[in-house]
Structure 1
Amino acid sequence: MKKFNNFLFFAVIMLFTTVTFAQSTIKGVIVDGEMRSALPGANILEKGTTNGVDSDFDGVFTLTTNSTSGEIIISYVGFQSKTVKFNGSTDLGSIVLDLDSTLDEVVLVGTGVIDLAGSRETPVAVSTISGRDIRLKSSGNVEFGESMKNTPSVYVSNQAGGFGDSQIFLRGFDQTNTAYLLNGQPINGMEDGAMYWSNWSGMSDVANVVQVQRGLGSSKLAISSVGGTVNIVSKTTDKQKGGFVRFLGGNDSYAKSTIGYDSGLSEKGWAFSVLLDHWQAHRKYSIGTAGQGQNYMFSVGYKPNEKNTFNFLLTGAPQWHDQNFSQDLEFYQEYGEKANSNTGFYEGERYTERRNFYHKPVANLNWDLSINEKLDLSTVLYASWGRGGGTGNVGNGRVRVGGDGLNAEEIDFDQIELNNIATATTINGGQYGTFGDSYLRRSSMNNHNWYGLLSNLQYEANENWSMNFGVDARTYNGIHFRQLENTFGLDGYNDNFRTDRPNDYVITETFDADPWSSLFNSADNDQRYDYNYEEVIQYLGGFGQAEYSNDNFSAFVQGAVSTQSYQREGFFTGAGNGLGKSDKISKEGYNIKGGLAYKINTKHSVFANAGFYSRQPFLDNIFSNVRYDNALSEPDVDNEEITGFEGGYRFKNKTLRVNIDVYSTEWGNRFLSINGPVQPGADGIIDGENGQISADDEFSTYRLTDVTQKHNGIEFDVEYRPYAGSWSFRTFGSIGNWKYDGETPYTLQNDDTGDFITTDGNVDLTDVKIGNAPQTSFGFGIKLDVAKGLSVDMDYNIYSGLYEFVDPADVADAALASEIYESVRLPAYTLADAGLTYRFSLGDNALTFRANVYNVFNESYINQKDAFGYYLGIGRTYNASLRYNF
């Protein structure tokens, strides 16, 4: 028995010793391969176990393993994972992680339908912005588009209009002619190509990366962009467990709070991620531009085996924001650069005539199937349900404060209510307003239901050849009408203006301009007025791509064909003959593009791409006055034709990266819609100098056909990062020559009545400069690590060659006077932004403090001029945030 006890004792000792010595201590520092700086919060996991740690704010980690040899897996969001072998305790030193262009370790699904430039060997003109930079520099009271402004040929304007009202120009083309994709899903408006960034304000918090592909781009889809393609890859289901809480505050009482959590990938293959936030401010910059909104994202992924991966994503950014419009310079000089003629006071509180409100939930279901080692299939089903619109006035009873004060041009809503009551029309015992005497606030509703499918089959034939084939199908139903929002003391509105309804027809129901209530509640047909119609657009496209590559050479060819149909159905006569269904119009389009690249050596490479697009027109151009009438445009609006060429040079070593691109784009047979001069309304006179401050004045639109634009230019992007240095520097710029070419016919049409004011205009636009974006721009940025965990950065931008948008009547008048039209050039300007980041430990977790100052020197500038007036830029603004990662 004694021998047995001794044996048992020694067995226990040996077992304990074995367990104790079957461990290793692994140390190292995780470093960003691009920035050459520490990566705090990187995940280090012993392969085949749940044993892991995170790197501290200096990128340092220490992991005690369960065995004496094996492998550790190192991962960080937005970077390629790395597997490192170990044998016994060791210090691995610096471990460099490279940026992950395919995002395979970040996004569980969708890599087959997300067209990132890194997934193709033949280069394109591209700039990539990491999610980290977006969250540091472009969160909170800064437009999401600002994250793209430090790239060549990108211009962001109109930020003073209100939260989310900015516009983005790419190589001089506006955002209706640049393709925007969210996880491979097209998000430009189907009717007019428009982008409303207020609907996508949450992207600052959920974007993993934004890739700006200028010009031809690498998209395989049947879409045909003119300016380029912007791929927004959002956070979906993260494979790593963790979360964060962030609080942010800024100028003008801006406040935002955000929380996010990732469950990590379970042993059974499930994972989910959730993000919620809320923001609000009493104004953005100008008076009367208050805003409030939320952002939500929920994603769940499932990987049942090595061949299949599924992911469901639901995201949305319900918001409302009050708006400011362009004005004459004299207006700003008299009332101040923050003045807003849309606003005033009502019952003691700031109240604004123009409010945008919208809620656009977006859902998609992804399935990635690895059929075999050479064949992969990626499919996404997506849907969006947009509800909301914009408010404005109905009726001729607007009253302004008047006098000599700074608020003289503001609206006196209290006096309006008194006037409404005094001038009300009595119908069946109720007090109702009329168009001629009263003032009410209405909402112009723009609802839609959008469903689509994208599928891409990728075949890797061998190490040299790869091919893709796919389908792009969409169906879209747009619903447009007007409803009452505020009656200002009245029982409703007597709808007897430009309508075939009975003279005593009244509308009594009101609906809040609120993004949540509009999702479920809007006016029935009998409570809609002025216009009420729906549109159906159906789109089907197929695409294919083949690429050959070896060690030094690559080439690709890509083609797509598509068909698109349009139909309008009206439910209200209104000002035109809009009842019933229009004829169904179908148009076919196609595109083809190809390219070549040659690697001279490991550092130098060159490439060239060319393409041609035949693009179907937007629905809003098919109909002569889509709001009121089923009549088609005359002459018939045909496909637009885009021809593009580009070439580039690339240099890259361990510390320096240089990109140089040249491009030439010709856009022919373009339909162009431009805001025209204000027309007199019911009183027969023009009451104001622009469409925003008049009483009942009416808008008009120039409709130009067969317009040709030529955009030529050169771009560069240089970045220097010393390998072991504490600083980095980058500079970029673009020089363009963008002009119209040739003669074009045009008409001038009253938007409110549909009547043609001019039917046979003709104008020669040859050599007229294209406006709204600077044709020359430069910038540079520097980042400096000051001390442990502390860094500062600064960006400086120079904009020149900015022209007014062209008024065809001015060009025609110059020709009649035998004069040469001179494009009006706006003043050049510069902007400087600065930021500070401080990371420090809180126990085992990390805290990050970030502060930003935009337009540091408070420069006053004009960033755009449209048909109604000027948009001023935003003066000095700021924000600061604290983020806790756990």
Structure 2
Amino acid sequence: MKKFYNFLLVAVVMLFTTVTFAQATITGKVIDAETTSPLPGANVAVKGTSDGATADFDGNFTITTSSSSGEIVISYVGFKPISIAFNGDTNVGTISLSPDSLDEVVIVGSGVIDLAEDRRTPVAVSTIRRDEIQLKGVGNVEVTEIMKNTPSVFVSPGGGGFGDSALFVRGFDDTNTAVLLNGQPINAQEDGRVFWSNWQGVSDIANAIQVQRGLGASKLAISSVGGTVNIVMKAAEKGKGGSVRFLSGNDSYFKTTAEYNTGVNDKGWAFSFLIDHWQAHRSWARGTFGQGQNYFFAVGYKPNDRHQFNFLITGAPQYHGQRWSQSEETIENDPKFNQHWGFTSDAVNGQYTSDIDSERRNFYHKPVMNLNWDWTISDVSSLSTVLYASWGRGGGTGPRGDRIRTADGQLDYFAIEQANEAIGVGGFDSAETGYIRRGSMNNHSWYGIVSNFNTELNDNLSFNVGTDLRYYEGDHFRQIIDLYGLDGWAEDGVTYTDTFEADPWAALFDFADENQRIDYDYSETITYQGLFSQLEYSNDKFSTFIQGAVSNQSYVREGRHISYSDEDRGESDKLNKIGFNLKGGVAYAINDANKFFFNAGYYSRQPFLDNVFENIRRSNALVSPEVDNEDITGFEAGYEFKIGDNFTAVANFYHTQWENRVVLQGGGINDNGTPNDTSDDFEVSNFQRGVNQTHIGAELDFIFTPTSWLRINGFFSAGSWKFDGESSFDEFNIDTGELVSSADGINRDGISVPGVAQTTAGLNARANIISGLSADGGFKYYGNSYKHDGGSLQTMNIGTIDDFVLADFGLTYNYTLGNGDRLTFRGNVFNVFDNIVISNTDRFGFFNTDGRTFNVSARYSF
């Protein structure tokens, strides 16, 4: 027995000795390579094991592992990870992590995604990276909101419905700001609009969003009067892992997201998936309910070092209740008021339910697919190509007939149903019209290819040339959504009885046949062929570039509706318009701390399709005389300076002149000379030619890191945006196409462009409080925003919108588990002080800021 105890003792000692020798302790410190600040919360993991640790407040870490040798991987969100070998107890010293360059963010399509960092000659630019997008731009916040802390950028709430915001850059709205998704243009082909509700999922799948103000870096002949927004979507990720997130916010907002990346296998394949669902009974204003999903699938394949492919498909089907601009009096009395909704009713017993519905509902589903191919031809030459397609289905609902409202101004659905049942069949062809909800449908198919060849002619000179081809076909018609108790709707001698859901999934395949389309029914075909090129020279001190593009755009309209005349049915004549742009610039670096640049450019931009025809809804006739191209001339200069490693600032000055602008506006009402009798009122559209604007301004933004735990950034922009000279004006009856009135010599000279703030300033800070815990927040000031006379012409200013300030705050806590997985908790509060004021205006009325909103989320990353 004694021998047995001695043997057991020896075995325990040997086991303890073995374990002792097998262990290793690794220590070190993690800092930001650019600012030398510590990176608290940096993740340190032993490769191939579950051993891990998190850097403390000062960036220091200690990790104990059962492996006697191997590699540790140090990573931090927004920085390039580093692997370091160890053998036994090791002090790896100070590890400097470099921020991800956008070259690292752009996994595929680097030749067709025109980012400012790809060019040595600078432009005025601000970049929002994935870590900030994930923290601030998710949930019940518009993706446009994360761009607002950029000089000369204004984000309008657009009424407050989910996805209804509008983006303004240097005073130009998003019809005149080009938006690109992985190099693919997404501005609507008919009118240049960007419907942000179609891109609700961008915040979950974007690696970066870059706002290029003014001339920008894009080589395409696109509508970048104000600037260019480049959204870089994720591709099939190189690394293996995933995450699950749960988020909730004010007014019953809830969102859940799951994603997974397989990583690259030994045959060069990688797969990435993401899916989420969100819903809320309102955004902030009443009647702005919403629900939607987001899906993303990508597959990457790299067969060798010369070729890389990536295919993705993504979409964000959604519906939401809408709200338009309001009168000043309404905003003051009830800022949440919305006249477009009401409580639904039970027609059997006349009881109102707790459910709500809106006559103004947007519903849309726009699947997007693209295939990227990057070919490294040689050490100096490459070809990058993206082939894309999208299919949009859906539209927006609205009233047709006579509304009935409750005493507080909401829709009385029960009274509407009772009145309709008494009529039986209603409509424009009967004495009693009744009320229905119609859907204005916009179904389109869009196909395109962008390809760019780049070569380094020598160490200093690079050249690229490419092509941009697009084919677009859109169908526009109205269909009945709800008859509210009517047996049918009579119009143009036809009684219509079919109804269709205002649902984005149903709209993919279930929409009205031609014989069930009310009011109007037409299609348009737009083809586009563009050629672009750039030559850039750079050395250690000096860089210069010249860039040009030429394009041909053709327009054809086809009318189908029963109410159209013979001339307006079938295909119209084809109109071809040639456009071009030419840009150039120079930059000079005095030293690493002082750099200057100057850019200039000229655009001859083709008109939008909606401005080419006399009445796009009803007529095949081209506008006479023919609409000319719009002319845009831009100049900008900038100066970048640094003070040590802690302070960087950039100042920009710009001058943009926009001449021969064509403005088409619809939705106004003409009282037909009888203001007290609404029975003969009709809807009109306004067509204006020769509108000229000049936008001049200055911008400054900076980053300051005064201590290792604090980062401050701020900006200031001031503009003078005014109309120039005279223009013409025509008013048309939308239903008949008849010219109601016209005038020449409309004088706008010197009138300030109304709508959004011409002066903005912001100050933001982020502070590391303790290990893993950080806080961020800031203020933004808006001023110098002009009111106009309320009409279509905007021929006078009648005052200014009061200056105002909004504040946001956020809190983040990161906790790394022992196996290297991470928990991230985030809370956001927007408009912290609940400052509900008029923010901006359009020609119909005013928009107010949303009151205090919030969201909280938890993410598990593995």
On whether the aligned pair clears a TM of 0.5, the verdict is: yes
Q: Distance in 2 between matches of 1:466 and 1:55?
A: 45
Deviations 1:511-550 (A, max 9, x none): 1000001011111111111111110000011111111111
1:398 aligns with 2:386: no
Q: Superposition pairs for residues 250-649 of structure 1, below 5 Å?
A: 250-334=249-333, 336-347=334-345, 348=353, 349-395=355-401, 397-402=402-407, 408-425=408-425, 436-496=432-492, 503=493, 505-574=494-563, 578-649=568-639
Q: Distance in 2 between matches of 1:43 and 1:525?
A: 63
SS at match of 1:770: coil
Paired residues of 2:80 and 2:99 also in contact (CA < 8 A) = yes
Paired residues of 2:219 and 2:547 also in contact (CA < 8 A) = yes
Match of 2:800 in 1: 825
Deviations 1:79-108 (A, max 9, x none): 44556677876333332333333333x443
Match of 1:92 in 2: 92
SS at match of 1:767: coil
Distance 1:569 1:788, change over 3 A: same
Paired residues of 1:326 and 1:870 also in contact (CA < 8 A) = yes
Paired residues of 1:188 and 1:195 also in contact (CA < 8 A) = yes
Match of 1:784 in 2: 767
Match of 2:815 in 1: 840
1:791 CA displacement:
1.3
Match of 2:714 in 1: 731
Q: Which moved more, 1:763-772 or 1:164-173?
A: 763-772
1:841 CA displacement:
3.1
1:726 CA displacement:
1.1
Match of residue 661, structure 1, among 636, 640, 652:
652
Q: Which moved more, 1:575-584 or 1:733-742?
A: 575-584
Match of 2:175 in 1: 176
1:309 CA displacement:
0.6
Paired residues of 2:786 and 2:797 also in contact (CA < 8 A) = no
Deviations 1:684-735 (A, max 9, x none): 76778xxxxxx9954323221111110110000011114x511111110101
Q: State TM-score, norm by structure 1.
A: 0.89
SS at match of 1:785: strand
Deviations 1:630-687 (A, max 9, x none): 1112332111111111111112341111111001110111112245742248x97677
Aligned residues: 831
Paired residues of 2:43 and 2:55 also in contact (CA < 8 A) = no
Match of 1:38 in 2: 39
Deviations 1:474-513 (A, max 9, x none): 10001100111111112321223xxxxxx3x221111100
Distance 1:687 1:875, change over 3 A: farther
Paired residues of 2:53 and 2:816 also in contact (CA < 8 A) = no
Match of 2:743 in 1: 760
Match of 1:708 in 2: 692
SS at match of 1:239: coil
Distance 1:167 1:224, change over 3 A: closer
SS at match of 1:803: strand
Match of 2:13 in 1: none
1:45 CA displacement:
8.3
Deviations 1:849-871 (A, max 9, x none): 11111111111211222222111
Residue type of the alignment partner of 1:869: G
Match of 1:878 in 2: 854
Q: Distance in 2 between matches of 1:657 and 1:571?
A: 59
Paired residues of 1:101 and 1:119 also in contact (CA < 8 A) = no
Please list every run of 5 or more consecutive structure 1 residues that lacks an aligned counterpart in the other structure. 1-16, 403-407, 497-502, 689-694, 813-820
Q: Which moved more, 1:153-162 or 1:800-809?
A: 800-809
Q: Distance in 1 between matches of 2:234 and 2:302?
A: 17
SS at match of 1:135: helix
Q: Superposition pairs for residues 764-775 of structure 1, below 5 Å?
A: 764-775=747-758
Q: Distance in 2 between matches of 1:472 and 1:879?
A: 41
Paired residues of 2:791 and 2:843 also in contact (CA < 8 A) = no
1:862 aligns with 2:852: no
Residue type of the alignment partner of 2:655: S
Q: Over the residues paired in the alignment, what is the CA RMSD in angstroms?
A: 2.7
Q: Which moved more, 1:725-734 or 1:91-100?
A: 91-100
1:574 CA displacement:
3.0
SS at match of 1:103: helix
1:62 CA displacement:
4.9
SS at match of 1:176: coil
1:138 CA displacement:
1.9
Paired residues of 2:646 and 2:704 also in contact (CA < 8 A) = yes
Q: Distance in 1 between matches of 2:680 and 2:502?
A: 22
Q: Distance in 2 between matches of 1:44 and 1:159?
A: 46
Match of 1:802 in 2: 785
Distance 1:375 1:659, change over 3 A: same
Paired residues of 1:224 and 1:591 also in contact (CA < 8 A) = no
Residue type of the alignment partner of 1:393: P
Match of 1:8 in 2: none
Q: Distance in 2 between matches of 1:455 and 1:92?
A: 45
Q: Distance in 2 between matches of 1:719 and 1:304?
A: 42
Q: Distance in 1 between matches of 2:315 and 2:711?
A: 36
Q: Which moved more, 1:532-541 or 1:627-636?
A: 627-636
Distance 1:76 1:239, change over 3 A: farther
Residue type of the alignment partner of 1:92: V
Paired residues of 2:34 and 2:645 also in contact (CA < 8 A) = no
Residue type of the alignment partner of 1:858: D
Residue type of the alignment partner of 1:838: Y
Residue type of the alignment partner of 2:405: R
Q: Distance in 2 between matches of 1:625 and 1:279?
A: 39
SS at match of 1:189: coil
Paired residues of 1:575 and 1:752 also in contact (CA < 8 A) = no
Distance 1:761 1:700, change over 3 A: farther
Paired residues of 2:632 and 2:657 also in contact (CA < 8 A) = yes
Distance 1:857 1:373, change over 3 A: same
Paired residues of 2:52 and 2:817 also in contact (CA < 8 A) = no
SS at match of 1:794: strand
1:755 CA displacement:
2.1
Q: Distance in 1 between matches of 2:806 and 2:210?
A: 23
Q: Distance in 1 between matches of 2:314 and 2:495?
A: 39
1:461 CA displacement:
2.3
1:751 CA displacement:
2.6
Residue type of the alignment partner of 1:608: F
Q: Which moved more, 1:31-40 or 1:631-640?
A: 31-40
Residue type of the alignment partner of 1:625: N
Q: Distance in 1 between matches of 2:459 and 2:66?
A: 37
1:43 CA displacement:
7.9
Deviations 1:127-164 (A, max 9, x none): 01111111211211111100000010000012533000
Distance 1:228 1:281, change over 3 A: same
Q: State TM-score, norm by structure 2.
A: 0.91
Please list every run of 5 or more consecutive structure 2 residues that lacks an aligned counterpart in the other structure. 1-16, 346-352
Match of 1:238 in 2: 237
Structure with the higher fraction of residues in strand conformation: 2
Match of residue 849, structure 1, among 825, 828, 841:
825
Q: Distance in 1 between matches of 2:46 and 2:562?
A: 67
